[in-house]
Amino acid sequence: MKILYALLAAAALCACTSEEKEIYSRQIEIVSVPEGAPIVIDGLKMGTAPLCVGVETNEDGYFVRKTVITAIPQKASLFTQVVTFPAYLASNPEKSRVPEKITFHMEKPPSQGGGVTFDDD
């Protein structure tokens, strides 16, 4: 019986502290040159480029959590491309802004600064 009361008390506590949050999202178009690179977001394979994915944002269109997007090469002559977006910080919001389009240029090595470009039409 004590266990039942403890569970009921825990459930009541959880209900009192939860607040409803609105969830926002934006679509990102992801392209690779050449086409066909597998795209991984935060460790989850999303498909092959070109593709569009929805990501969670705040109401102003910034990432709500650190997000890592990786394009994996299909040939040994190409290079892995990675872009990391930090979670939104009011002191530096532009680093976490969600772009409309990301292009991964798989032929560019990291020694040349990598091959990731962003477009906001």
* 52-79 tens-digit pLDDT: 999 999 999 999 999 999 999 999 999 9
pTM of the model: 0.79
**Banded pLDDT at 112 (limits 50, 70, 90):** confident
Please name every residue paired with 111 in a beta bridge, in sequence order, or none if there are none.
none
- Parse the chain into domains and list their residue ranges: 21-119
Buried b (16+ CB within 10 A) or exposed e, 83-114: bebeebeeeeeeebbbbebbbbbbebeeeeeb
The span from the CA of 94 to the CA of 62, in Å, is 8
